[in-house]
Structure 1
Amino acid sequence: MSSLMKRKLSSTSRSVSPPALRRRLPPPKTSLPLNAEQDENDLTFYSWNVNGIGPLLQKQINFSSQSTYPLRTFLRSAHWPHLLFLQEVKINRDDEATQRRVELAANAGHLPGEPTYTTHFSLPRDKYNATGFGGKVHGVASLVRDDTAPSITTRPGWDLEGRVLIHEFSSLQLTVVNGYWVNGTSNPYRNPTTGDVDGTRHDHKLRFHAHMLELCRSIEERGCTVLLLGDMNVAPRRIDGHPNLRTSPVQHVTNRADFNKKFLDPESKDGLRAVDVFRHCHGEKRKYTYHGRGRPWGESCDRVDLIIANRKLVEAGAAENTDICDTPKDRGHSDHVPLWLSLDTSKTKSAAEELAALPTP
């Protein structure tokens, strides 16, 4: 990859990767090939909406007659990321056999010296809003390399649709969130307690944004920086949709504005004022993460899978490298492609200390 030049982030009228509150952000390091030797301080993340995990669990026989699975093959091709975040896995929460198969598929056929992984899930438990296809909807899974396990992995109590996993790295003063954010539609949303219609999925999306902002604020109040990865079902800027950004129905515009204000607007007094890491590293480069199937590649696509970092992490230079794996081969069986981040953990604690020194908004 070419060397990445230092960029000054513009206002939200042009970009949702906002300018620094006190100083300009440092440039990211030159992106290294993914097969390059990693620094011992690097923590690598992959995020991928797989649109159903089933194809990654289909057993295969390799040339040496050993059993292997596409999931293990993907981890190997990604050079053993420390965390792999999967969204829209579509597993019924009572289907323990499939959940066990995910961990089996991640580790089967591992050779001496290769890492192994432990799986974590957040799966739907909403009896009114997550019942389609026998409960095989939504759902997120995190595959965590066993030599880099976080201190705590939790699921927020308000997340009944299986959309959020929280991974706390206490020693790094860092919390990382795997999220499959709500997609706004005009379909009805039902109260999860009574089953009564309570607005639309658009309304539910806005409530989800509020919950996520509250979660991020609570993380920061505990003295940790926050890193969000996943399918956020929002293309933040005009450049993030091709050939057009979704503007109809108008609620999509409202949803986008709400997302940007809560998470990326530098002038928002109550927002997170965080950084879109891809835009910080790659400026105006056009790459997309959603490529719908049934159309020629590149005809209709959006960048809705994002990595959003606390501004202090970026100011400290912790968010080193990132990119989108945007080819038909990378998409595989899904309608999304993976994206990745390399984080320098030697800088996360200083970022958290600077954050703690700021006055409370």
Structure 2
Amino acid sequence: MNIYSWNVNGIRAIQKKGFVEWVLKEDPDILCVQETKAQIEQLEEKLTQIDGYKSYFFSAEKKGYSGVAVYTKIEPLNIRNMDIKEFDFEGRYMELEYKDFNLINCYFPNSQSEGKRLDYKLRFNTAIMKRCNELVDLGKNIILCGDLNVAHREIDLTNPKKNEKNPGYLPEERDWMTKFLECGYIDTFRYLQPEETKYSWWSYRFKSREKNIGWRIDYHIVNESFVNNIEDAVILNDVMGSDHCPVVLRVSVE
């Protein structure tokens, strides 16, 4: 099974860049999308009813902001949000229950300049960890995917020393990521590629993508007992259309 994740930075904008055609060509089993920046009533039918897929959208209450969506060939058993108003208000979380795992598609907050939203982000992070732990304690496997808005280690961004005071690489954010993984979770790409330098996001400024000055902030994370189901974790950094590129997790399930 191929599970894709992509921060599209505006689903209406990326539609004009061949998004639907890319989905049909790439043929993911499940595609998780972040930062849709749209209410479902603003979308064309072509975007909500891609041939062969069920689609589910959860938007922020504020128009043109945040939002997540899932396109799936396999109908989920259940779908839920976070049930925490301050996070659901911004359309940041969608959880789909399947037979073999619970899939969490999420768009983590940006801590912003000078850490203006760091407290909000850390509250979100805490809620994510709590939910993952609840599921694992119930005997469920989890696949957490999306834009986590953090580069965990020096290998995960081009200029770590210059970015130590910048959002996405603040000590508090990296410390939380370390704590989360130490609680029994696996960063699948880094697990399979411990020394590979590859990025999933590039600033639109300074020709950053052309120069490959980037950050790896998009992830698939699984619980440790699911690790033997991992077949591959890939970053599709040649796919254009957003300031992020898609990331893919291939897993074996019954």
Task: Give TM-score, length-normalised by structure 2.
Answer: 0.90
Give the partner amino acid of 1:313: F
Q: In structure 2, what is the Cα distance between the partners aligned to 1:233 and 1:51?
A: 13
| Partners of 1:57 and 1:101 within 8 A in 2 | no
Secondary structure in structure 2 of the residue aligned to 1:119? strand
Match of 1:184 in 2: 111
After the TM superposition, which residues 1-150 of structure 1 pair with which residues of structure 2 at under 5 Å, given as runs? Answer: 43-58=1-16, 70-78=18-26, 80-92=27-39, 95-98=40-43, 100-104=45-49, 106-107=50-51, 116-125=52-61, 131=62, 135-145=63-73, 148-150=74-76
Number of matched pairs: 247
RMSD: 2.0
Match of 1:342 in 2: 250
Match of 1:247 in 2: 164
Please state how far the C-alpha of 1:212 moved relative to its aligned partner: 0.2
Please state how far the C-alpha of 1:77 moved relative to its aligned partner: 2.8
Distance 1:339 1:299, change over 3 A: closer
Unaligned runs of 5+ in 2: none
Match of 2:150 in 1: 234
Secondary structure in structure 1 of the residue aligned to 2:43? helix
> Rg bigger for which structure?
1
Please state how far the C-alpha of 1:85 moved relative to its aligned partner: 0.6
After the TM superposition, which residues 324-339 of structure 1 pair with which residues of structure 2 at under 5 Å, given as runs? Answer: 324-327=235-238, 330=239, 332-339=240-247
Match of 1:156 in 2: 82
Q: In structure 2, what is the Cα distance between the partners aligned to 1:87 and 1:187?
A: 24
Secondary structure in structure 1 of the residue aligned to 2:65? coil
Matched, 1:165 2:110: no
Secondary structure in structure 1 of the residue aligned to 2:170? helix
Q: In structure 2, what is the Cα distance between the partners aligned to 1:123 and 1:289?
A: 23
Task: Give TM-score, length-normalised by structure 1.
Answer: 0.64
Unaligned runs of 5+ in 1: 1-42, 59-68, 108-115, 126-130, 189-199, 266-271, 347-361
Please state how far the C-alpha of 1:252 moved relative to its aligned partner: 1.2
The structure whose residues are more often helix, as a share, is: 2
| Partners of 2:56 and 2:69 within 8 A in 1 | yes
| Partners of 1:181 and 1:231 within 8 A in 2 | yes
Deviations 1:122-168 (A, max 9, x none): 1113xxxxx4xxx21100110011xx212111112112210111011
